[in-house]
């Protein structure tokens, strides 16, 4: 389980993350969506969890304990207790991003980040080599590992990029770029995958394809996904659980039905008056 | 099917016969012939120079050595996209290592001197790299420049290092000799030839190693870091450590070149080896020859030395001449000499364009001025950010 424990982060006067306590991955393969209006602190939370930003206070923990009373932890988030064995906890707050990746915490970016001058295949190969600890070899050849090449082919197929494998990343259509970005993240064999608006900027027709592919692969592999998403139809359609943020605090969490039943949340997210 | 462990030879790839040099390096027959010709030419230089008026072996030799340093620099430039303005530091460290050892410690063995040059450059590169690589872009360039000038100032100020006169690399009684090769003393002409041939061998091995490195997983990681450092970090690459390693390897190339320079020229002066203009020249060689290619920097080095010597005979404004050449390369042939001769035939394409419509030159000039304006604006912004903060 990936746990944010009393995380705080401010930028000047703005309290972007204000004492956030939340746990992801209660069931492996669970799809959690993080929702909230602009400025709610969604991206900051992802940045804190993945090491892009260091928190002012609080911890990021990996907890290996299935028998935890999660509601106690998540009660109001203001003063989280530690309802697990000390031995089951690993504090990753001070780990660099690259070390977090090897610990299983992987992310994508809202504005896709790819190795623009490499082909789709080369982008994926770089990620697979990294995951297998082969990148430090000075004597091998970058395309000389049959098992890596096989893994790359498999990813190309699963993310429907086979036809575009040898196109340079910067020339790929936007939807494929998003898919490639997510595919690279999957190549790293994550346990927790944080996706910052994987469907933003994707044409309406392609949105379903992107999210459907993510859902398929993460369920197959048992990867917990933590996705920031603005499209409430997607959230309702795919979420196992929803975490709503507002002004840097956890406004609420629960099943996706809460988007229908929580009037306050509806007002915040959609501007709907009831 | 060919076995990948087999020795060099001819292999069949989908019906096309290719010459296999080593694992991962196979050339078409045309290219193999060209490579062979190049190697033969390198070995024949001492026989050719007497036939050409005004061309001295030492000029070609120095061109190769600085070009070799540029091959090292290019590991950073081409793959990690870092512009180092201080590579003369490693060249100088290598050169001074040979001089200090020969002058102060009476070490005469050529290979001992070269090994020390390598180690000295590696140590300097490790320290300079550690301190400079906290930054990227402009700040990195400025830091490498600063460390380079620091070494220059030390060499000029320290009597131990000979001050601005430098030190000779002439061990032995009376300081009249040259280093010995495997314990043997050679006549000056023979010594010069032997050191030149050694340089050729070192250069060829260095190129093969660099080729292999560029095509290895490490080369892949460095490419990734150069193209998007944040993404590289978030696919689990410890970017600082990788770039640091590349920086040290790059410095070692400079150090080997500097060591060979020391034993070839037999006198090391700060102006000739450590000055920041030498750093600029090494960078210039890489761009002139084509920094997206393996061979470009080396060829850039030789061409540059001919420009330098020829330019001096031809005009007092030698630096202006290289400046004009640099402008021509950047605006007309951004891929450099080797890059432009490569696959896309851009030299021929441009020559054909000029033949069919000479006014196209005007268009290029306009576009060039536009790009120059853009570059100047960027430079101005960078300078502002240095002095005013980002």
Q: Is the pLDDT of residue A69 over 80?
A: no
Q: Which residues of A touch B224 (CB under 8 A)?
A: 115, 118, 126
The confidence score (pLDDT) of residue A67 equals 67
- Going by C-alpha positions, the residue among B91, B302, B122, B296 that lies closest to residue B214 is B296
- Lowest-confidence region among B71-75, B103-107, B212-216, B242-246: B103-107
- Going by C-alpha positions, the residue among B258, B250, B241 that lies closest to residue B213 is B250
* C-beta of residue A83 within 8 angstroms of C-beta of residue A72: yes
In this prediction, residues B242-261 reach a mean pLDDT of 96
Beta bridge partners of residue B26, listed in sequence order? B20
Is B317 a domain residue? Answer: yes
- Concatenating the DSSP letter of every residue in B227-251 gives H-HHHHHHTT--HHHHHHHHHHHHH
Q: Nearest-CA distance from B97 to chain A in Å?
A: 28
Task: Spell out the alpha helix ranges (H) of chain B.
Answer: 29-48, 57-74, 88-104, 110-132, 137-157, 188-214, 217-227, 229-234, 239-265, 270-273, 276-289, 296-314, 318-332, 336-341, 346-356, 360-388
Q: Is the pLDDT of residue B28 over 60?
A: yes
Q: Which of residues 132-151 of A touch B (CB under 8 A)?
A: 134-142, 144
First to last CA, chain A: 36
Strand-strand pairing, A31-35 and A57-63 = unpaired
| Separation between Cα atoms, residue A81 and residue A201, nearest integer Å | 40
pLDDT per residue as tens digits for the range A87-109: 788 999 999 999 999 999 999 99
The confidence score (pLDDT) of residue B31 equals 82
Is B347 a domain residue? Answer: no
| Separation between Cα atoms, residue B187 and residue B167, nearest integer Å | 21
* C-beta of residue A2 within 8 angstroms of C-beta of residue A34: no
Using CB atoms, pick whichever of A106, A115, A134 lies closest to residue B217: A134
In this prediction, residues B211-224 reach a mean pLDDT of 95
Location of structure tokens 């910067």: A170
Q: Is the pLDDT of residue B390 over 80?
A: no
| Separation between Cα atoms, residue B65 and residue A245, nearest integer Å | 61
Nearest CA in chain A to B227: A115
Q: Which residues of B touch A138 (CB under 8 A)?
A: 212-213, 216-218
| Separation between Cα atoms, residue B86 and residue A271, nearest integer Å | 58
The confidence score (pLDDT) of residue B39 equals 92
In this prediction, residues B178-199 reach a mean pLDDT of 89
Is B348 a domain residue? Answer: no
- Boundary of a domain, candidates B53, B76, B94: B53
A203-229 burial by CB neighbour count: b if 16+ within 10 A, else e? eeebbebbbebbbebbeeeebbbbbbb
Q: Which residues of B touch A137 (CB under 8 A)?
A: 216-218
Is B188 a domain residue? Answer: yes
The confidence score (pLDDT) of residue A270 equals 72
* C-beta of residue A107 within 8 angstroms of C-beta of residue A56: no
Token code pair at residue B102: 């020969």
pLDDT per residue as tens digits for the range B192-213: 999 999 999 999 999 999 999 9
Residues B104 and B48 both lie in one domain: no
Using CB atoms, pick whichever of B215, B220, B242 lies closest to residue A129: B220
Residues B179 and B224 both lie in one domain: yes
| Separation between Cα atoms, residue B71 and residue B37, nearest integer Å | 20
| Separation between Cα atoms, residue B306 and residue B55, nearest integer Å | 8
pTM of the model: 0.86
CB contact under 8 A, B235 and A188: yes
Is B158 a domain residue? Answer: yes
CB contact under 8 A, B235 and A125: no
Is B74 a domain residue? Answer: yes
- Boundary of a domain, candidates B33, B53, B73: B53
Residues B60 and B9 both lie in one domain: no
Which domain does B383 fall in, by range? 357-388
- Concatenating the DSSP letter of every residue in B46-99 gives HHHGGGSTT--HHHHHHHHHHHHHHHHHHIIIIII----S-THHHHHHHHHHHH
Residues B135 and B184 both lie in one domain: yes
- Lowest-confidence region among A122-126, B203-207, B324-328: B324-328
CB contact under 8 A, B218 and A135: yes
Residues B144 and B129 both lie in one domain: yes
Structurally, chain B folds into a number of domains equal to: 3
Is B286 a domain residue? Answer: yes
Q: Which residues of B touch A149 (CB under 8 A)?
A: none
Residues B31 and B87 both lie in one domain: no
Grade residue B348 by pLDDT with cuts at 50, 70 and 90: low
Q: Which residues of A touch B24 (CB under 8 A)?
A: 141, 144
B221 touches chain A (CB under 8 A): yes
**8-state DSSP, B7:** P
Is B350 a domain residue? Answer: no
| Separation between Cα atoms, residue B373 and residue A89, nearest integer Å | 57
| Separation between Cα atoms, residue B345 and residue B173, nearest integer Å | 56
- Lowest-confidence region among A63-72, A147-156, B245-254: A63-72
Residues B40 and B77 both lie in one domain: no
The confidence score (pLDDT) of residue B3 equals 46
CA torsion through residues B318, B323, B326, B327, sign: negative
pLDDT per residue as tens digits for the range B56-78: 888 899 999 999 999 999 999 99
Residues B66 and B148 both lie in one domain: yes
- Going by C-alpha positions, the residue among B113, B155, B150 that lies closest to residue B128 is B150
Q: Is the pLDDT of residue A70 over 90?
A: no
Q: Nearest-CA distance from B358 to chain A in Å?
A: 33
Q: Nearest-CA distance from B227 to chain A in Å?
A: 5
Contacting residues for B70 by C-beta, under 8 A, at least 6 apart: B87, B282, B283, B285, B286, B289, B297, B298, B300, B301
Residues B282 and B324 both lie in one domain: yes
Contacting residues for A73 by C-beta, under 8 A, at least 6 apart: A3, A21, A23, A80, A81, A83
Residue B263: burial class (beta carbons within 10 Å; 0-12, 13-18, 19+)? buried
pLDDT per residue as tens digits for the range A8-36: 999 988 889 888 888 888 787 889 999 99
- Boundary of a domain, candidates B341, B365, B380: B341
- Going by C-alpha positions, the residue among B258, B318, B242, B269 that lies closest to residue B166 is B269
Nearest CA in chain B to A187: B235
What are the angstrom distances between the C-alpha of A22 and each of A196, A198, B32? 17, 21, 62
Q: Which residues of A touch B217 (CB under 8 A)?
A: 129, 134-138, 140-142
* C-beta of residue B222 within 8 angstroms of C-beta of residue B59: no
Residues B26 and B130 both lie in one domain: no
Contacting residues for B204 by C-beta, under 8 A, at least 6 apart: B39, B42
Q: Is the pLDDT of residue B309 over 50?
A: yes
Residues B6 and B33 both lie in one domain: yes
CATH of the domain at B328: 1.10.3470
Using CB atoms, pick whichever of A116, A117, A142 lies closest to residue B220: A142
Q: Is the pLDDT of residue B248 over 90?
A: yes
In this prediction, residues A40-61 reach a mean pLDDT of 93
Token code pair at residue B234: 């978030």
Residues B31 and B102 both lie in one domain: no
* C-beta of residue B112 within 8 angstroms of C-beta of residue B299: no
């Amino acid at each position: 389980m990936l746990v944010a424990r009393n995380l705080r982060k401010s930028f000047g006067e703005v309290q972007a993350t204000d004492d956030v306590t939340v746990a992801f991955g209660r069931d492996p393969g669970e799809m959690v969506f993080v929702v909230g209006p602009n400025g709610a602190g969604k991206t900051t939370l992802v940045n804190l969890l993945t090491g892009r930003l260091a928190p002012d206070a609080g911890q990021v923990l990996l907890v290996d304990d299935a028998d935890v009373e999660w509601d106690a932890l998540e009660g109001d988030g203001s003063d989280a207790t530690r309802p697990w064995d000390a031995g089951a906890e690993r504090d990753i707050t001070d780990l660099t991003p690259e070390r977090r990746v090897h610990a299983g915490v992987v992310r994508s970016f809202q504005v896709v980040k790819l190795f623009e001058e490499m082909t789709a295949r080369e982008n994926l190969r770089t990620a697979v080599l990294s995951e297998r600890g082969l990148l430090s070899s000075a004597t091998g050849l970058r395309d000389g590992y049959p098992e890596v090449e096989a893994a790359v082919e498999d990813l190309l197929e699963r993310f429907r990029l086979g036809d575009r494998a040898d196109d340079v990343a910067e020339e790929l259509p936007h939807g494929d770029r998003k898919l490639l970005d997510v595919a690279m993240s999957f190549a790293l064999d994550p346990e927790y995958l944080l996706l910052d608006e994987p469907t933003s900027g994707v044409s309406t027709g392609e949105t379903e394809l992107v999210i459907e592919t993510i859902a398929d692969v993460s369920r197959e592999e048992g990867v917990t996904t933590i996705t920031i998403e603005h499209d409430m139809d997607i959230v309702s359609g795919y979420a196992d659980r929803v975490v709503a943020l507002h002004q840097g605090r956890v406004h609420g969490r629960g099943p996706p039905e809460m988007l229908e039943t929580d009037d306050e949340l509806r007002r915040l997210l959609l501007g709907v008056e009831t | 099917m060919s076995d990948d462990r087999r020795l060099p030879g001819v292999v069949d790839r989908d019906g096309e016969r290719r010459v296999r040099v080593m694992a991962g390096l196979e050339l078409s027959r045309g290219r193999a012939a060209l490579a062979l010709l190049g190697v033969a030419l390198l070995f024949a230089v001492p026989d050719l120079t007497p036939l050409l008026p005004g061309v001295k072996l030492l000029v070609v030799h120095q061109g190769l050595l600085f070009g070799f340093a540029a091959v090292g620099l290019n590991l950073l430039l081409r793959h990690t996209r870092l512009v180092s303005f201080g590579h003369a530091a490693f060249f100088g460290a290598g050169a001074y290592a040979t001089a200090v050892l020969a002058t102060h410690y009476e070490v005469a063995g050529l290979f001992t001197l070269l090994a020390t040059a390598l180690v000295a450059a590696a140590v300097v590169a490790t320290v300079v790299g550690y301190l400079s690589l906290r930054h990227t872009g402009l700040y990195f360039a400025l830091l490498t420049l600063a460390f380079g000038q620091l070494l220059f100032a030390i060499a000029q100020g320290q009597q131990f290092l000979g001050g601005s006169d430098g030190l000779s690399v002439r061990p032995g009684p009376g300081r009249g000799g040259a280093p010995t090769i495997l314990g043997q003393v050679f006549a000056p002409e023979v010594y010069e030839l032997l050191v030149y041939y050694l340089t050729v061998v070192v250069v060829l091995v260095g190129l093969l190693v660099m080729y292999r490195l560029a095509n290895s997983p490490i080369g892949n990681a460095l490419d990734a870091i150069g193209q998007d450092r944040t993404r590289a970090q978030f696919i689990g690459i410890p970017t600082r450590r990788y770039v640091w390693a590349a920086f040290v390897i790059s410095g070692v190339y400079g150090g080997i070149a500097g060591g060979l320079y020391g034993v070839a020229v037999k006198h090391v002066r700060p102006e000739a080896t450590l000055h920041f203009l030498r750093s600029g020249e090494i960078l210039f060689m890489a761009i002139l020859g084509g920094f997206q290619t393996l061979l470009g920097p080396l060829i850039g080095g030789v061409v540059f030395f001919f420009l330098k010597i020829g330019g001096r005979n031809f005009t007092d404004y030698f630096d202006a001449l290289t400046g004009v050449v640099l402008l021509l390369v950047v605006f007309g042939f951004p891929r450099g000499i080797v890059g432009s001769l490569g696959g896309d035939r851009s030299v021929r394409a441009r020559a054909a364009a000029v033949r069919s419509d000479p006014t196209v030159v005007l268009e290029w000039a306009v576009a060039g001025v536009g790009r120059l304006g853009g570059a100047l604006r960027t430079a101005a912004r960078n300078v502002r950010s240095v002095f005013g903060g980002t």
